[in-house]
Amino acid sequence: YDALENYQSAITDFNKALSIEKTADSYNGIGITYTNLNNFNEAIKNFNLALTLDKNNIESYFNLGYAYGNLKKYQEALSNFNSAIKINSNHFNSLHGRAITLITLSRFNEALTDLNSLAKIKPEDLEIIGYRAMCYYETADYNNAIQDYSTLLISDPNNVSLLSNRAASYSFTNSYDKAIVDYTKILSIVKTGNSKYIIATTYYFRGKAYASKEDYKSSVNDFTECIKNKPDDNTAYFYRATSRMQLGDKTGACADYKDAIKLGFKSSFDYKQIVQSDPKYLDEYFEECK
């Protein structure tokens, strides 16, 4: 009945079974059915009843972790996943549940420990590799992130999100030519579509990659394309200004810099980072624009 999604009949039969004999399996089964109905509080009640009969019921601990996670009670979820893993250190579902919970809590380094254990159990599981790639990226382990993104792209070569994350990882490791290849592929995929945001963002980051390798003519072209698709992007105006200044186009650079300021560049993350790194940099770089 549960498999056929006839949940009320499943609950009726589980209750009949429990009236004959109270077993951990029946309480666990009725808890799973309530989980399928998104009635997580009732599910938790039954999983706990299962554990009163069998304190080593690993599936009940896992199911409790899953139910608490859905209620956003993450510490309770972790506690139950931990209990399951104490019983069996290689319990795949509990390791998976704990990893996802840790990711939700932005505890990426801890999640990586579980994800690497999961990868040993199922080395070709692309979902695990995807989560691990994200955690490597979030912990600035870009070389390992690149390796995982590359594995994922073998089976899904036109995945824009994967290409974008690998391109960013290449840029962070100063592999700008490889980043440019990925950004160029993204543009070939989305340019005929209607996603102006993705197009603008891709031109923006490819423009930064070109600027980093001192190809300022190409960076100016990309920032221009970014602005066409996102006219209010103050950072695109700013970086086009810096590239134009490098090309000796002081008039164009000053016009862009003033537009960037008008559009709110001084409130941007990039502005704050630049000022924090070198408070005098902008005044000196754009001294002729005053």
Q: State the DSSP string of the chain.
A: -TTTT-HHHHHHHHHHHHHH---HHHHHHHHHHHHHTT-HHHHHHHHHHHHHH-TT-HHHHHHHHHHHHHTT-HHHHHHHHHHHHHH-TT-HHHHHHHHHHHHHTT-HHHHHHHHHHHHHHSTT-HHHHHHHHHHHHHTT-HHHHHHHHHHHHHH-TT-HHHHHHHHHHHHHTT-HHHHHHHHHHHHHHHTTSS-HHHHHHHHHHHHHHHHHTT-HHHHHHHHHHHHHH-TT-HHHHHHHHHHHHHTT-HHHHHHHHHHHHHTTGGGSHHHHHHHHH-TTHHHHHTGGG-
- For residues 61-83, give the mean pLDDT: 98
- For residues 39-51, give the mean pLDDT: 97
Confidence of residue 290 (pLDDT cuts 50, 70, 90): confident
Angle (CA) 257 260 263, round 5° = 155
Instruction: Report yes or no: 59 and 88 within 8 Å, Cβ to Cβ.
Output: no
Residues 250 and 222: their CA atoms lie apart, in Å, by: 19
- For residues 42-65, give the mean pLDDT: 97
Radius of gyration of the chain (CA): 27
pLDDT of 195: 85
Confidence of residue 194 (pLDDT cuts 50, 70, 90): low
pLDDT of 288: 86
- For residues 40-56, give the mean pLDDT: 97
Each residue of 111-141: pLDDT tens digit? 999 999 999 999 999 999 999 999 999 999 9
Has residue 193 got a pLDDT over 80?
Answer: no
Name the average pLDDT for the chain: 96
Each residue of 231-269: pLDDT tens digit? 999 999 999 999 999 999 999 999 999 999 999 999 999
Confidence of residue 214 (pLDDT cuts 50, 70, 90): very high
The two three-digit tokens of residue 129, written as one number: 């590799």
- For residues 28-40, give the mean pLDDT: 95
Dihedral angle over CA of 253, 259, 261, 263, nearest 10: -150
Residues 4 and 33: their CA atoms lie apart, in Å, by: 11
Instruction: Report yes or no: 81 and 94 within 8 Å, Cβ to Cβ.
Output: yes
* Number of C-beta neighbours around residue 228 at 10 A: 13
pLDDT of 191: 79
Q: In sequence order, what are the residues at sequence separation of 6 or more whose Cβ sits closer than 8 angstroms to the Cβ of residue 50?
A: 24, 25, 27, 28, 31, 57, 60
Record the pTM: 0.90
